[in-house]
Amino acid sequence: MSVVDNAVYIDGRRSVEPESLNHTYEVLRECPAGGRSFCWIGLLRPDADEIASVAREFGLHSLAVEDAVHAHQRPKLERYGETFFVVLRPARYVDPVEVVELSEVHLFIGPDFVITVRHADEPNLAEIRKRLEQEPELLKHGPLAVLYSVLDRVVDDYEPVLLGLGGDIDEIETQVFDGDPSASKRIYTLSREVIEFQRAVEPLREIFEQLRERADDELMDVELARSFRDVEDHATRVLERTESFRQLLMNVLTANAALVGQRQNDHITQLSEMSYNQNEQVKRISAWAAILFAPSLVGTVYGMNFDSIPELGWQFGYPFALALMVIFSAVLYMVFKRRGWL
């Protein structure tokens, strides 16, 4: 059975624990009208028959029932007559893999009933129920007291998520300025998690706004309205920190891109300097090769074994050849020196 807990509360105390949903309906009908009595039915992965049963008994709207069955809804509060349909997205941060795990809770809140629907084991609403049962004065406020307690727990559970995200952002900043090449991927991944978390928190503004309207219409007890405002303050701080995390990650990503670009420019500058030095060395080698080539050319010509070589029989032929080598070398040296090759 998907009914994880089922009880009827009278004057803030757990009075009856029905054996079945039908028994719950019977007990609730026997309670005096306008009294402080309501039932709280907790469902985990309910089947179609169970959903249809509570929908018929309490007149739940078909669209809200469809949303509760299929899940994957954004946080919201919708009103169908005297019934509220609330969707909340509790969160848990898994630090080893840096992932924000989001679950989903649906609540049908009526004048004399609360139906909670979950499709995952977390969050465990049994702890909320147990704590609330220890506060009968709060529970006397009826179904809205249950909504307050669930909202309060969901918002409180956002705090560890903020701590986890904040710690990882601090680590990323260190990575960026240490030049870790894996920082860019980590920034992008964490940014996606922050955005998903923000999508779970941001719609709470609309939920609390509608609850304030109910309080303004004097349909909610003053003390309970104050409790909702306290939770709203906590939710606002969570949202503000989430927005600051998103902005901070954008700034870190920009800084990382600038640092990567600077390192690339420094590397290109080093390569350019190395290329320039190599060119200078090539110039020097080429210049000396050309200088040495001139006497080698003259010596090679005069070294040929031909009788008709000019100046071969000339008395000053040998000194002339040496002088020619020196002149060619000196002229080339002066030319390369003037061009800065030597």
Domains of the chain: 1-135 (3.30.460.20), 277-338 (no CATH)
pLDDT at position 306 is 57
pTM: 0.74
pLDDT in tens, 80-93: 988 999 999 999 98
Average pLDDT over the chain reads 83
- Greater confidence (303 vs 176) lies with 176
Long-range contacts of residues 175-180, Cβ cutoff 8 Å, at least 24 apart: 176/252, 176/255, 176/256, 176/259, 177/259, 179/259, 179/263
User: How much is the average pLDDT of 43-52?
Assistant: 84
At 285, is the pLDDT very low, low, confident or very high (cuts 50, 70, 90)?
confident
User: How much is the average pLDDT of 8-17?
Assistant: 90
Lowest-confidence segment of 127-131, 312-316, 334-338 by average pLDDT: 312-316
Q: Distance between CA atoms of 83 and 152, rounded to whole angstroms? A: 20
CA dihedral 213→214→218→223, nearest 10 degrees, is -100
Lowest-confidence segment of 44-53, 123-132, 237-246 by average pLDDT: 44-53
pLDDT in tens, 222-255: 888 888 899 999 999 999 999 999 888 888 888 7
Three-state SS at 70: helix
Say yes or no to pLDDT of 179 above 80.
no
Q: Distance between CA atoms of 30 and 8, rounded to whole angstroms? A: 11
